[in-house]
Chains A and B, each alone.
Chain A
């Protein structure tokens, strides 16, 4: 049904995993061959910068700029780490990609390692993705036997070894410095930045951490060119395609590869096939649990980093979770905050105590026992948690609270005035 150019999902078949034979037959490892055969590492880095690719893990930092901070020419061990801890509610695209086509990531990592001149790579993968981890281990074995991994890759003199590293739960591991601690076997609280991982990362060595989808895009940029990749997006400053994982009150809750800049209307009505049980759309999380809500007034907004920032939200991971007209947004926000409060690592006070406080405030308001004083306290917490925590977890947690206060303050007031949740019929 999709007319979008399919890069990452081009080999995807329902219920199947594609391995080396089929991946190679469909143009797999051509990007790697082109890069190591005809380009310098610096040329690959420049190409990625020119493509305007932005990180697909949620924060959306330009990949070429991030790589620009990396001391690729510095001697000594350097690491490339793939963040496959995908644990933000509403986000499941990396899991789908690695179930369908694990070599997409393997080729992307080898090519990125060449660009950054890192000798060792790790794929840090969440506990729940054991099938994906098995796919990756098999793909690594195949790539090693084919000469794409190991010593003197494709006769280039470049060496790269790649390991899959499992985890055992907890959302905080998706924060890149907590992830590095987790990889090292240290208690995974986040680290103070600076120094940034590019300077002192894994085992104290220069490290770049990139998301699965980000890395998987690199070979396509090499084979197609930076301008072609940019032109895949529908917005002038956008770039590439994006994996959209749909969920919530939609008729179709699947994952699609769509152009960056597609409108919310098209995602909800064409790909999501409209609202479940013929109800009306009320709101959605546009890019995972930490992104402020969009509402009916945002149906025409192109889903891209810049356009979503303009309307006070974020593109995030493009995990779109839709809510119907009968959904209480105070209750949704309470569910989200309960997640973030439970997943807080407990390291800093704004997150450990602040989110617990916000959960209590939302419980009080949702139960109908809240007063206007509680509403003011909620606003106060927003002002005193956002921007004041040690890492981005609490900042993200407050995204939906900000969205609730911006778009649904009247709904909170209704709870207070009626003394009960207006949606509990």
Chain B
């Protein structure tokens, strides 16, 4: 196992969070239960989880990289590949679908000029289908950064994309 000291970690986690994770892992009986917390923190800092992120998680928790990898690859909200700054999770489950999610999907693909699973050339948006987000009452809906937007219309999609583009420029 690689020691944490020998790894460059600053691009993966801020050093205070890293120190807290190391301390907490030393205090609790089952540090492995922290895997998702650590992976989510790395993703939040770095945008996605690269191989070094898997290795760092393993080092913090006293696991092998493969033990972390089999967790990281199981969950659809952990990204093992680069994604855009804003990941748009579009619900394609039944409540959103009967209220027009297909039309919203087609519209998003058109205005962003990408397919599901792709990222815009400017690196701003990744579009992903998602299972039910728990937004059944405001269908059709998307989740961006764990915030929800719905019920969506093409006009509201325009507003949303414009405001996110503005945020990126600020």
Shortest CB–CB separation between residue B138 and chain A, in angstroms?
8
Partner-binding segment picked from B94-102, B110-118, B159-167? B94-102
Residues A169 and B33 in contact in the complex (CB < 8 Å), given A90-B136, A91-B136, A253-B136: no
Is B134 within 8 A of A187, CB to CB? no
Partner-binding segment picked from A43-51, A81-89, A148-156, A411-419? A81-89
Which residues from A are CB-within-8-Å of B70?
187
Which residues from B are CB-within-8-Å of A245?
136-137
A109 at the interface (CB under 8 A from B): no
Which residues from A are CB-within-8-Å of B40?
166, 168
Which residues from B are CB-within-8-Å of A129?
134
A246 at the interface (CB under 8 A from B): yes
Partner-binding segment picked from A8-16, A139-147, A319-327, A369-377? A319-327
A285 at the interface (CB under 8 A from B): yes
A128 at the interface (CB under 8 A from B): yes
A22 at the interface (CB under 8 A from B): no
Bound complex: CA of A341 vs CA of B99, how far in Å?
22
Partner-binding segment picked from A28-36, A332-340, A354-362? A332-340
How many of B's residues come within 8 Å of A, CB to CB?
A: 38
Is B132 within 8 A of A335, CB to CB? no
Which residues from A are CB-within-8-Å of B139?
247, 253
Residues A131 and B134 in contact in the complex (CB < 8 Å), given A184-B32, A203-B30, A289-B93: no
B133 at the interface (CB under 8 A from A): yes
Number of residue pairs across A and B with beta carbons under 8 Å?
128
Query: Which residues 24-53 in B have Cβ within 8 Å of A in the complex?
Result: 29-30, 32-37, 39-40
Q: What are 7 sample pairs from A and B whose C-beta atoms fall under 8 A apart? A: A165-B36, A188-B74, A248-B95, A249-B99, A253-B139, A338-B92, A345-B74
- B binding-site residues for A, Cβ under 8 Å: 29-30, 32-37, 39-40, 61, 70-71, 74-78, 92-95, 97-99, 130-139, 143, 146, 148
- A binding-site residues for B, Cβ under 8 Å: 86-92, 95, 126-131, 165-171, 182-188, 203, 245-249, 253-255, 285, 289, 319, 321, 323, 327, 332, 335-336, 338-339, 342-343, 345
- 16 more A-B contacts (CB under 8 A) besides A89-B131, A165-B36, A167-B75? A89-B93, A91-B132, A91-B136, A128-B133, A128-B146, A128-B148, A131-B146, A166-B40, A168-B40, A169-B77, A184-B30, A184-B32, A185-B71, A203-B29, A247-B136, A253-B136
